[in-house]
Structure 1
Amino acid sequence: MTYRNPIIPGFAPDPSIVRIHDMFYLVTSSFHLFPGLPIYASRDLIAWRHIGNAIHRPTQLSLARSSTKLNPLDNGSGEKAPATGGLYAPTIRHYNGKTYIVCTNVVYDPGRDKGDWASGLTFQNFIVSTADIGIGVWSDPVFFEYHGIDPDLFVDDDGRAYLAGSAWTPSPSCCINCFEIDLQTGQKLGEEKILWHGYTKVIPEGPHIYKRNGSYYLLVAEGGTHEGHCLTVARAPTIWGPYETCDHNPILQPTTTLDPSAYCQYNGHGDLVQDLQGNWWMVCLAVRRDRAGRMVLGRETFLTAVYWPEGQIWPQIQQPIPRTSRRRLGNGDSEEGLSMSPPIEAVPSPFDPKMDLVCIRDPDPGRSKISSDGRTISLVPLPTELGQCTGEPTAFVGRRQRRLEGSATADLALTSLSAATEVKMGMAYYKDEHRYARIMYEPGHGTLAFEVKNGAKDPPISREKRADVHFLRATKLQFRVLYTGQFIHFMYRVEQAGERSGWNSFGLIDTLDMSSRDFTGPVIGVFAVGAGEEWCTFEDVDI
């Protein structure tokens, strides 16, 4: 089978996959975005469609404290690694007619931070379920007690359910713990036990348990989620162990070890699935990183082939590559298709064109209106700035950037705005409260402004530009964000009496200024910051 990578481009880390009858379903982390835990569906593992979100009601849980902590790197560079809270590393599984997702909501409280990031964390682990994944209505969370992240759900042949996860006790020197659980109540049905400390013993996380030929296999991500990221596996006669380490771990090696200049980097955090023909596959995260260090779209979802050689007990995994590939042939040779091909674009579900629109943390539904086709977005401004995480809502609606090259546009209707409006409104390229760039109109000051901020860089990036403008007879102000793999270009033009001016350049940044060791990826959207009750309406929104 020929397939192209990444299969889910843009902000799609920590994938988990399940096959239900003849359909594959995949879920990824979403961190600080609402709705959260996007669900994708495919019949062939190649063409994927966004069909829903497991966290789709504000009443299910709160993301208000999914802030981003900047952690100093240990490489002496002075640069910081952004670690974002919110929804981490879900696992999706199907049992007895119901589909389950287990996940962690990581809450960061700066008041409890004793100098290390972990001391300020609270882990809200939960289970959501649905009897019909196609309809897309998921239950309220069933919370369970677990001091850790990345829960995995395994249901054994006798129907007993187990949760395994990365236990943080008492600091991020993790191990993989497991306990039996009641899926309906979240109650622990037995003692929590350590299964494995991993192969490298460097932050083992993202565990998944499988049963094959009577043995229990434990697949684990290790080495951190960046340069040392890898996958290891162990095997045991019972779910409780003892676990025997694979003799050729890591079974998916850090790309930096194999080829530091490789375009595909940081691969790891995988989940296995079988197709209808009995072939094994793995989805995992990776980044596309150019030689200058640009990782424009952050961590994405890749597909790669898995083999169980006859007479051997350990699987073999092909190194994922960002291009068209084919499964290895039965004689041990390999086939590869074309060199670099464009990634498959994630297509919104035909049932709801607004399916992939997202807000930052908890939305305020009463202060936003979105048309049925998603092309008109109206916002009542809120005081929370893009650079803040106060626990209060932010007036922002956008979409994940899915392609390396493209553009986003939106027309701000000026006729309904008062000249004295103390509001900033425009388009933003957003990653978290420390890293964003935006173009905006400030009618109360008669200015057009451009800002770019990245507090994770050394030294921190903070640039501003303002210009006096006169839009007295203008009816619309059109914003445009033009992006490539190297640059992000912020532009505007004015519509007056039905005539539009040419595009004016107003801000240009190198994508390297927004690249980092990300948890998240870029989201492009419209926003309104300020006070008052005036609606700010963006028309012909195309992101």
Structure 2
Amino acid sequence: MAHRNPIIPGFAPDPSVVRIDKTFYLVNSSFHLYPGLPIFASRDLVSWRHIGNAIHRPTQLSLAQSGTSLNPGPGESSEKAPATGGLYAPTIRHHKGMAYIVCTNVIYDASRDTGDWASGLSFQNFIVSTPDICVGQWSDPVFFDFHGIDPDLFFDDDGRAYIAGSSWSPSPSCCISCFEINVSTGRKLSEERPLWRGHSQIIPEGPHIYKRNGSYYLLIAEGGTHDGHCVAVARAESIWGPYASCAQNPILKPTNALDPSVYAHYNGHGDLVQDPSGAWWLVCLGVRRDRAGRMVLGRETFLTPVNWPGNQTWPQIQQPIPRTICGTASDKDSEGFLPSRHIEAVPSPFSPRLDLVWVRNPDLKRCRISADGKMISLFPSQTDLGQCTGCPTSFVGRRQRRLEGVATACLVNPPMSDDAGDAKMGLAYYKDEHRYARIMYEPSAKTVTFEVVNWAKNPPISRNKRLAVDFTPPTRVQFQILYTEQLIHFLYRVNEGVGREGWRSCGLVDTLEMTGHDFTGPVIGVFATGTEEEWRTFEEVDI
């Protein structure tokens, strides 16, 4: 098999994978986005299709407090490290006809933040399940008591179920701990016991337990989420340990960010899976980083082979490369998802609306979307993109999946009244409430406005450019974002032009200005904010 990396491009961190019969299913972290926990299916680990989301009803849980905290950056960096709350590091497993996902909803309460990000955190750990993963209907969460993140679910040969996670008690990420659980009720069936503090003992997280040849293997990520991030493994004869560290740890080593020969940086947080032929593979997160430090799409999902022949005690993992097994290196851009020709039998048709996302808790009654996703109407929210008030924001978009591309939207029949007040409507490149760039129409000022902010940078970035527009009345305001690995170009045109004609430049952003040691990736979408109470419609939406 030849595969091309990343297998899930663009804002697809913390992958977990399971094989059910002949089909592989993969889930990613989604943090502050709704719907949460996107699920992908493949018959060959190469071609993947987005088939659903495990958190697909607002009533399942609240993402209202999944805001982003700006913390001191790593090492001697003068920049802040944005840490976003929400849905962290799911694990997907299958047992006796049921598919399960365990996950943490990280709740960030800024009012309790004393300067240390962890001081403002609390954790909702939960299990959702479904008897048919392709139908796309998941249960309400079953919550369980665990003060930590990144839960793993392991079913032993006797049917007993165990949770292993990164315990944050008494201090953040102090160790990997474990307890037996009733998956139906969330009740703990044993005391929580520490298993392993990792090879480096630096932020052990993302644990997964496997059983092979009668032994228990504990695979973890450690070393921090960027520089130093790696994968280590330990082994025990009992699930409770003691766990002996592999002498070759870390088995997926940290990369040198300045080495131009490295394709994927910050590799870690992986999950093992065995294909029907018996070969082993690792899915893991990684970052495509250029020499200047641009990490445009954030953390993505990569695939790499695992050498575990016969009765060999320890797995050996290859660093992810662009293409492996029987291919040659591809160009750097993955060009989005590969064709899904190998998984036609997955009984879940792709919907152009399936991968649309909202920020935090949406008010879905404020959004109308056509069947093909090309027309979106929004009822404005008083919460703007730069706010995290717990109230919904009228924004809907898609994760950026390619290094190069174009996004467009046409605002039809925009308001002209001076009574529109603080109304804003347009097209945005969004990461969180501290970092976004957008082009928008402001009816009260009769301007098209370009804005870019990033409060995590030192010094902070805040630019605003208003272009007066002489038209009476406007019937169409078209917005366009052209993006490459280096630049994001914001353009507009009013009541004129077809094809490539008539576009006017409004602003340029170096993608380095939007790069940081963060958890998330960019989302491009349309928004409407302000106090006016009129639906605003975008046509020709292609985001």
Same fold, judged at TM 0.5 (above) = yes
Show the counterpart of 1:329.
none
- The aligned counterpart of 2:345 is none
Aligned-pair CA distance for 1:414: 1.9
Q: Match for 2:401: what amino acid?
A: R
Instruction: Find out whether 1:368 has 2:359 as its counterpart.
Output: no
2:392: which partner in 1? 393
Quick one: distance in 2 between partners of 1:25 and 1:459?
43
1:529–1:170 Cα change, 3 Å: same
State the Cα deviation string for residues 383-430 of structure 1 (Å, max 9, x = none). Answer: 111111110100000000000000000000026664532310000000
For residue 500 of structure 1, report the CA deviation from its aligned partner. 9.1
Indicate how the Cα distance of structure 1 residues 163 and 417 shifts in structure 2: closer, same or farther if over 3 A, else same. Answer: farther
Give the alignment of 1:427-438 within 5 angstroms: 427-438=427-438
Q: Contact 1:417 / 1:536 at 8 angstroms: preserved in 2?
A: no
SS in 1 for 2:124: strand
Q: Which runs of 5+ in 1 are unaligned?
A: 327-334
| SS of residue matched to 1:118 | helix
- Indicate if the aligned counterparts of 2:74 and 2:81 stay in contact, CA closer than 8 A: no
Q: Which amino acid aligns with 2:355?
A: D
- CA distance in structure 2 between the aligned counterparts of 1:515 and 1:105, rounded to whole angstroms: 25
Distance 1:257 1:299, change over 3 A: closer
Q: Contact 1:4 / 1:341 at 8 angstroms: preserved in 2?
A: no
String of CA shifts for 1:74-125, please: whole Å, max 9, x gaps.
4223111110000000000001101000000000111222221111100000
> SS of 1:273's equivalent?
strand
Q: Which residue of 1 aligns with 2:529?
A: 529
SS of corresponding position for 1:201: coil
What is the TM-score with the length of structure 1 in the denominator? Answer: 0.95
Q: What is the deviation of 1:518?
A: 1.8
Deviation at 1:353, TM superposition (A): 1.6
Secondary structure of 1:393's match? coil
Quote the offset at 1:434 in angstroms: 0.6
The answer to whether the aligner puts 1:75 opposite 2:75 as a matched pair is yes
Residue identity in the other structure for 1:421: A
Structure 1 counterpart of 2:467, one-letter code: A
SS state of the match for residue 392, structure 2? coil
Q: Who is 1:332 aligned against?
A: none
With over 3 angstroms needed to count, the CA separation of the structure-2 counterparts of 1:225 and 1:74, relative to structure 1, is closer
Among 338, 348, 366, the alignment partner of 2:329 is 338
What is the CA–CA distance in structure 2 between the aligned matches of 1:501 and 1:257, rounded to whole Å?
41
Superposition deviation, residue 324 in structure 1: 1.7
Please say if residues 379 and 527 of structure 1, whose CA atoms lie closer than 8 Å, have aligned partners that are also in contact: yes
2:343 match? none
The 3-state SS of whatever aligns with 1:366 is helix
* One-letter code aligned to 1:44: D
Residue 8 of structure 2 corresponds to which residue in structure 1? 8
SS at match of 2:516: coil
Pairing 1:280-319 to 2, within 5 Å after superposition: 280-319=280-319
Q: Secondary structure at the match of 1:538?
A: strand
Counterpart amino acid of residue 523 in structure 2: V
User: Residue 324 of structure 1 contacts residue 340 of structure 1 at CA under 8 Å; is this kept in 2?
Assistant: no
Preserved contact between residue 50 and residue 346 of structure 1 (Cα < 8 Å): no
Question: Is the CA contact (8 Å cut-off) linking 1:269 and 1:285 kept in structure 2?
Answer: yes
1:377 corresponds to: 376
Deviation, 1:447, is 1.1
Q: Are the counterparts in 2 of residues 263 and 290 from structure 1 also a CA contact under 8 Å?
A: no
SS in 1 for 2:119: helix
The range that moved more, 248-257 or 485-494, is 248-257
Verify: 1:134 aligned to 2:125, yes or no: no
One-letter amino acid matched to 2:389: T
Q: What is aligned with 1:66?
A: 66
Given the alignment of the two structures, is residue 166 of structure 1 paired with residue 166 of structure 2, yes or no?
yes
Aligned residues of 1:6 and 1:344 also touching (Cα < 8 A) = no
Structure 1 residues 175, 258: CA separation in 2 closer, same or farther (over 3 Å shift)? farther
Query: 1:129-528 to 2 correspondence within 5 Å?
Result: 129-256=129-256, 259=259, 262-321=262-321, 323-326=322-325, 337-340=328-331, 342-346=333-337, 350-414=349-413, 418=417, 420-422=419-421, 423-496=423-496, 502-528=502-528
> Partners in 2 of 1:161 and 1:470 — Cα distance?
67
Provide the secondary structure at the position in 1 that maps to 2:149: strand
In structure 2, give the amino acid aligned to 1:160. Answer: R
SS in 1 for 2:256: helix
Deviations 1:258-313 (A, max 9, x none): 94763421000000001110100000000000000000000000000001144520
Contact 1:287 1:295 survives alignment (8 Å): yes
| Distance in 2 between residues matched to 1:497 and 1:421, nearest whole Å | 27
Tell me, in whole angstroms, the C-alpha distance in 1 between the residues paired with 2:495 and 2:501.
6
1:62-141 matches, within 5 Å, as 62-141=62-141
Compared CA separation, residues 448 and 257, structure 1 to 2 (3 A): closer
Cα RMSD (Å) of the superposition?
1.8
Relative distance call for 1:499 and 1:142 in structure 2 (3 A) is: closer
Question: Comparing 353-362 with 169-178, which one deviates more in the overlay?
Answer: 169-178
Q: Deviations over 1:356-386 (max 9, x none)?
A: 0000000011111111111111001111111
- Following superposition, the deviation at residue 472 of structure 1 comes to 1.5
Residue 458 of structure 1 aligns to a residue in which SS?
Answer: coil
Query: Any idea what SS the aligned residue of 1:103 has?
Result: strand
> Quick check: 1:174–1:205 contact (8 Å CA) kept in 2?
no
Partner of 1:331: none
TM-score, normalised by the number of residues in structure 2: 0.95
Residue 8 of structure 1 aligns with an amino acid whose one-letter code is I
Residue in structure 1 matched with residue 22 of structure 2 by the alignment: 22
Shift of the 311–91 alpha-carbon distance from structure 1 to 2, 3 Å rule, reads closer
**2:10–2:402 CA contact under 8 A, matched in 1:** yes
Give me the identity figure in percent.
69
The superposition leaves residues 169-216 of structure 1 with CA deviations (integer Å, 9 ceiling, x where unpaired) of 122142000000000000000110001111100000000000000000
- 8 A contact 1:425–1:529 mirrored in 2: yes
Deviations along 1:484-526, whole A, 9 cap, x unmatched? 0000000011225999951100010100000111200000000
CA contact (8 A) 2:102 2:127 kept: yes
Give the distance between the partners of 1:182 and 1:72, measured in 2 at CA: 39
Kindly indicate whether the alpha-carbon contact (under 8 Å) linking 2:154 and 2:210 is maintained by their aligned counterparts in 1.
yes
The count of residues paired between Structure 1 and Structure 2 equals 534
Alignment of 1:36-47 (within 5 A): 36-47=36-47
Q: Any unmatched runs of 5+ in structure 2?
A: 341-347
1:221-242 Cα deviation digits (max 9, x unpaired) = 0001100000000000010011
Tell me the distance in 2 between the aligned counterparts of 1:258 and 1:161: 43
1:257–1:199: structure 2 CA closer, same or farther, 3 Å change rule?
Answer: farther
